Amino acid sequence: MGKGIDVGSVCVKTAGREAGKKVVVLEIVDKNYVLVEGPRAKKRKCAITHLMPTGKKVELKKGAKKEELARAVE
């Protein structure tokens, strides 16, 4: 995937109403979009160009709750 973004990558959103918020990549939709969610960001489809990877990666179980996501990101 481009820019070093894979499932489990922790990123910072750089555009939109959630700009500056940390998110985790949950799923790769196609070559331009991924599904992301974060402690203070809703689960949504996001363009890869609107993400900046932090270099961290987390292991999450499928169906992880928002609290688990928050602990993993921090």
Q: Note the pLDDT tens digit of each residue in 38-64.
A: 999 999 999 999 999 999 998 877 777
pTM value is 0.86
Task: Work out the pLDDT band at 1, boundaries 50, 70, 90.
Answer: low
- Residue 47's nearest CA partner among 23, 69, 70 is 23
- Cα dihedral 63→67→70→74 (10° resolution): -120
CB-CB contact of 25 with 6 (8 Å): yes
CB-CB contact of 18 with 41 (8 Å): yes
- Does CATH place domain 2-73 in 2.30.30.30? yes
Task: Work out the pLDDT band at 73, boundaries 50, 70, 90.
Answer: confident
- Cα dihedral 69→41→36→65 (10° resolution): 30
